[in-house]
Structure 1
Amino acid sequence: MAAICIVLLLLLARAFWQGDIAWQYVSENLFSKSILSGVSNTIIMTFCAMVVGIVLGVIAAIMRMSDNPVLRNISIGYVWLFRGTPALLQLLLWFNLALIFPRIGIPGLLSVRTVDVMTPFVAALLGLGIQQGAYTAEVVRAGLLSIDKGQMEAAQSIGMTKLRATLKIVLPQAMRVIVPPIGNETIGMVKLTSLASVIQYSEVLRSVEDIYYVNSRVIELLIVAAIWYMVAVTILSIAQIYIERHFSKGWGRRDAGAQHATHQALVGEAG
């Protein structure tokens, strides 16, 4: 099987090398100003959308676990709505919000044209960030539920409110469970920003499209986009490893200690 895989990879590399691909266009455009600008916009959108998503996700998760039925049902409805509609549809809705509300603002104080506010950046940020919040809410809730209830009870016994105990005691411990899926969601967001090209946001794919509409070298420019997406994903994957190690400090040693104690107990019983 390993030999077959190696042969297939070599044949694939040979096909790309001998195919009708003008590799000079790849090298010429890889570090062009417009492409680098698109890469920068992709990174900015990724982190901005993830910040919005994480903030909304934490709030929605805490609301979901609240004793207040109103807050709990609002959280359930938010997750249901924004997980149930495609990201592209949400981007288009935000971008065309002016068709429903020509002007937005505070009645009697401030009123602006929606088309001036809902730029491609704002529409992409709202569409991607709010949808991400719905997914993050479930990740955070799963992390909070993974912590023993005794932690909450102990915090409340010394006078902490449930909200403060969640933020100060439970959530920091739950980070070990929360961080890996959030890291995966961040990596996914890098690629999800490509949808923003539909609403004219100048990320990597949009920048590539603007170039190959002029020179007609479609495959070459798509390879450029693929290279930059892979670079971004690789860097984020390495960062995720170190972040996971940081939040897992002590857990590995604790598990090893428990296994050693169990081994010693079994040896003692056998003796």
Structure 2
Amino acid sequence: MSFLFLDKYAWYYINGAKNTILLTCIALFFGIILGLMFALLRLSDNKALKYVAVAYIEIIRGTPILIQIMILYFGVTQYISFPEIPALSKLIGYDSSDFMAGAAAVAINSGAYVAEIIRAGIQSISKGQMEAARSLGLTKSMAMRYVIVPQAFKNILPALGNEFVTLIKETSVVSVIGIMELTKAGDIVRGATAKGFEPLIVAAVIYFSITFTASKLVGLLERRMRVSD
């Protein structure tokens, strides 16, 4: 087993790892926004809004992420084009419109899972918290915004950390639409070197390094938040 090819192809892995982390951060950021929105809709007293949220969550959770990416990329983008962002294109090294399409698909998928995480977090807060906030003159929306949701996010931080780690690995599926992330980098090196095993081992080691570091950082953040309580 030889890894001498890294002298020539290490840059592919570096660029792929950078794009994987960037893609994960973008997807999780918008996934949390979508998750919070649909969690609140699902908890709404309005049945129409609740049904919309349930439909989104069940459809996304009930279909493979690979199918969702292909539907968005080959179907939706025929009618709606993702704009190129020059700064992002310079950062990732190629046209950012495809990158954003992949990030959007992963964010939509993540949003459904985050919605359920947030919903569970909100429901874990004692009803007395809402009653106390309302007794102080806050409206229901203000109480949810300033009292319930901040407490819920503290409770669900471990689950959100797990979602972040999971997304790092799940972003590998966007390689099917040509996005240059870590799995795609491994495939390119595998094709260029005619080595079927070693390039994948390198990619796996980098994935593990990223996810292990992310898990430790999430754990550190959890401990610091417990101390601050």
SS at match of 1:159: coil
Residue 34 (structure 1) aligned with residue 12 (structure 2): yes
What's the TM-score, normalizing by structure 2? 0.88
1:102/1:115 contact within 8 Å kept: no
Residue 81 of structure 1, CA deviation = 1.2
Counterpart AA for 1:55: I
1:175/1:247 contact within 8 Å kept: no
2:16/2:185 contact within 8 Å kept: yes
Counterpart AA for 1:246: R
Matches within 5 A, 1:198-237: 198-237=176-215
Residue 52 of structure 1, CA deviation = 0.9
Counterpart AA for 2:3: W
C-alpha distance in 1 between matches for 2:109 and 2:83 = 23
Residue aligning to 1:47: 25
C-alpha distance in 1 between matches for 2:71 and 2:16 = 23
Residue aligning to 1:76: 54
Structure 2 portions without partners, runs of 5+: 85-95
C-alpha distance in 2 between matches for 1:241 and 1:60 = 27
1:49/1:129 contact within 8 Å kept: yes
Counterpart AA for 1:130: I
Larger radius of gyration: 1
4+ long deviations beyond 2 Å: 101-104, 114-120, 246-251
Change (3 A) 1:211 1:73: same
Structure 1 portions without partners, runs of 5+: 1-20, 105-113, 252-271
What's the TM-score, normalizing by structure 1? 0.75
Residues 152-201 of structure 1 show CA distances to partners (whole Å, capped at 9, x for unaligned) of 01111122121221121011212232111110110010010110111100
Residue aligning to 2:2: 22
Counterpart AA for 2:29: V
Q: 1:96 aligns with which of 74, 81, 89?
A: 74
Matches within 5 A, 1:231-246: 231-246=209-224
C-alpha distance in 2 between matches for 1:221 and 1:102 = 34
Aligned-pair Cα RMSD in Å: 1.9
Residue 249 of structure 1, CA deviation = 3.2
Residue 48 of structure 1, CA deviation = 0.3
1:83/1:134 contact within 8 Å kept: yes
Residue 170 (structure 1) aligned with residue 144 (structure 2): no
2:82/2:98 contact within 8 Å kept: no
Query: Which protein, 1 or 2, shows the higher relative CO under an 8 Å CA cutoff with sep ≥ 6?
Result: 2
Residue 156 (structure 1) aligned with residue 155 (structure 2): no
1:35/1:204 contact within 8 Å kept: yes
Residue-pair matches, total? 218
Counterpart AA for 2:165: I
2:82/2:100 contact within 8 Å kept: no
C-alpha distance in 2 between matches for 1:194 and 1:54 = 20
Residues 222-255 of structure 1 show CA distances to partners (whole Å, capped at 9, x for unaligned) of 111011101111110111112212332366xxxx
